[in-house]
Chains A and B, each alone.
With several copies, the nearest count.
Chain A
């Protein structure tokens, strides 16, 4: 697999060079640590700080969600590896406005251990920490083991809600509660057609047969839950939506937000074809789409595949979803013109 790379061992550091330079108007390193980045326009006294983070290789996740109205700081690890406690603590300190700090990250053994160690260290420094683990991948574990599920692209919605809650001045406890609700009401299923390849190996992490696809694929190139024959786009969406409908208790007239996300190499053309069917399936149940995003929001290097996430809205979540934010990749009801030409 060919890639634009220099020394593969420098890939994360070089990406950080580019990323920090490119998003200079939104964020900056905390001190000299480039693995801890803080929003220029984020933390403020009295506001609960929102810290997100995880491994790299998911761009624009997580760094694209740092900015006014969304996350205050992000801690970044190596490719597909949780950051160590040190940058997470730095983020907590940088994000802290005296009202406590909320950690939101995906439920993976490595992330949990590192963020927990960081939470202990931050609390020793007098910063109250609450944590919400994202667990939106509904096929990664049966419903009896909801807390065992992993967090995937649906963290987009969970971050958005958490960022809005923090920005609105809610207390740490309130922020935690509503973020937990957002996570509980977010449902994601992913499908991969080809595995991703690490810069260091430039080989597929594993092989998916020429006529096969992997259902329930994780965002770290972990195998999914079952290997199946490739089917049509509509059949794939139907399988995904059937899984989601099995868990989501939506009534006719309910509203949802939809995210159709590329894992990296799947182009927009195909995402739109998937979105088309998602809309048909929701419309057939009289469920309305309040807002949608179609594109690259949480990738897995160069994986060929896509995921569909549905956030089952209620009045509070709808308000928080529409709350203004401005980050490198997400501007909603732009909070203020700031004179910088930025996408």
Chain B
């Protein structure tokens, strides 16, 4: 089963890369309004690097954890920026959470989401409500935990996670940024969706579709 799980994760990253490619310009536009206009470009470069790194990986022998740590390295070396350390740390923590696991059952998915969200939080030292990607990853991870605790089915699990992510992204428009570039805009950031939150919701949608 281990190959299948690794393969599923690799396909998930390909889906993520595809979605980002489609939404690249939209993400850069969101970033242009309150940041420096490169978020779509950065994410596109990053996920292309991830799929390139994964293409070099032998998915027959690799574990899910290997896939995540390969993704972390590929992403970080390709982009830097804010997203590089944030997602690289998130993926690395996910790799740790998946270490020794061959199955991507709902518990594994829950732990992966929790690890992602904690990794991003620890690296960026942001809090909920700071108008960042964390406002998507944290509620998504919480929704996953609740769904598992309540014994939800797989479709219900991912539906709940997706909705939490989308609500989180939408809510950033009502927040005043206090972290990242947008923080300098203070009140002027109101009314704009955070680009990192928007892309995070897209990534989670891709996860839901592939896992």
Residues of A within 8 A of B (CB): 55, 77-86, 108-110, 113-114, 117, 140-141, 148, 150, 195, 198, 200-201, 204-206, 216, 218, 220-223, 225
Pairwise interchain contact A223-B25, C-beta atoms closer than 8 A: no
Q: How far is the CB of B190 from chain A (nearest CB, A)?
A: 13
Assuming the A-B contacts A108-B181, A109-B180, A205-B36, are A200 and B85 also in contact, with contact meaning beta carbons closer than 8 angstroms in the complex?
A: no
A78 touching B37, Cβ below 8 Å: no
Q: Compute the total of residue contacts between A and B using a CB distance below 8 Å.
A: 110
Q: Is B77 within 8 A of A86, CB to CB?
A: yes
**Interchain CA distance A118-B7 in the complex, whole Å:** 31
Q: What's the least CB distance linking A191 to chain B, in Å? A: 15
The A-contacting residues of B in range 16-40, CB under 8 angstroms, are 25, 28, 32-38
Q: From residue 60 to 111 of chain B, which have CB atoms closer than 8 A to chain A?
A: 76-86
Is the CB–CB distance between A222 and B184 below 8 Å?
Answer: yes
Give Cα A321 to B32, complex, Å: 36
A141:B84 contact, CB within 8 angstroms: no
Contact indicator B179/A109 (Cβ below 8 Å):
yes
Give A54's nearest chain B residue, CB to CB. Answer: B80
Inter-chain CA distance A200–B77, complex, in Å, is 21
Known pairs A150-B184, A223-B185; A78 contacts B79 (CB<8 A): yes
CB–CB B38/A80 < 8 A: yes
Supply 14 A–B pairs (Cβ within 8 Å), ascending by A: A77-B80, A81-B84, A84-B80, A109-B124, A110-B82, A110-B83, A113-B82, A114-B80, A114-B84, A141-B184, A150-B184, A204-B32, A218-B181, A220-B181
Which residues from B are CB-within-8-Å of A80? Answer: 36-38
Nearest CB on B from A110, distance (A): 4
Which residues in A have their C-beta under 8 angstroms from that of B179?
109
Judge whether B38 and A113 touch: CB under 8 Å: no
B73 to A, closest residue via Cβ: A86
Interfacial residues of chain B within 35-57, with CB under 8 A of chain A in the complex: 35-38, 41-42, 45
Tell me the bound Cα distance from A164 to B36 in angstroms: 32
Question: Is B183's CB within 8 Å of the partner chain A?
Answer: yes
Query: Taking the nearest CB of chain A, how far is it from the CB of B168, in angstroms?
Result: 19
Rounded to whole angstroms, the CA-CA distance of A108 and B36 in the bound complex is 11
- The residue on A at minimum CB distance from B84 is A84
Cβ contacts under 8 Å, B77 to chain A: 84, 86
Contacts of B182 in A (CB 8 A): 222
Residues of B within 8 A of A113 (CB): 82, 84-86, 123-124
Q: Is the CB of B81 within 8 A of A77?
A: yes
Which of these, A82, A85, A110, A148, contacts B183 with CB under 8 Å? A148
Identify the B interface with A (CB < 8 A): 25, 28, 32-38, 41-42, 45, 76-86, 123-124, 179-186, 188
Shortest CB-to-CB span from B196 to chain A, Å, is 10
List A contacts of B42 (CB < 8 A).
78, 81
- Determine the distance from Cα of A78 to Cα of B186 in the docked complex, in whole angstroms: 26
CB of B37 within 8 A of CB of A201, answer yes
A205-B37, A222-B184 are known contacts. Are A81 and B85 too (CB-CB below 8 A)?
Answer: no
Q: What residues of B have a CB within 8 angstroms of the CB of A148 in the complex?
A: 183
- Minimum CB–CB distance for B188 against chain A, Å: 7
CB neighbours of A206 from chain B (8 A): 32-33, 37
In the assembled complex, the Cα of A211 lies from the Cα of B88 at a distance in Å of 41
Instruction: Provide the bound-state CA to CA distance between A206 and B34, in Å.
Output: 9
Shortest 7 CB-CB contacts between residues of A and residues of B = A220-B36, A81-B81, A205-B37, A113-B85, A110-B82, A84-B80, A205-B32
Q: Within the complex, what minimum Cβ distance (angstroms) separates A79 from chain B? A: 6
Known contacts A82-B80, A85-B76, A109-B124: A218-B85 contact under CB 8 Å: no
Nearest opposing residue in chain A for B186, CB measure: A225
Among A77, A113, A218, residue most surrounded by chain B Cβ atoms (within 10 Å): A113
Residue of B nearest to A108 (CB): B181
Which of chain A's residues have a CB closer than 8 A to the CB of B84?
Answer: 81-82, 84, 110, 113-114
**Separation of A82 and B81 alpha carbons in the complex (Å):** 4
Inside 8 A of A195's CB, which chain B residues have their CB?
Answer: 32
A225 & B33 in contact (Cβ 8 Å cutoff): no
Interface centre among B34, B38, B83, B86 (most CB of A within 10 A): B38
Instruction: Enumerate chain B residues within 8 angstroms of A216, measured Cβ to Cβ.
Output: 184
Given contacts A80-B36, A140-B184, A223-B188, contact A201 B81 (CB under 8 A): no
Q: How far is the CA of A179 from the CA of B37 in the complex (A)?
A: 31
B80–A83 CB distance below 8 A: yes
Selected from B41, B45, B79, B85, the residue in CB contact (under 8 A) with A117 is B85
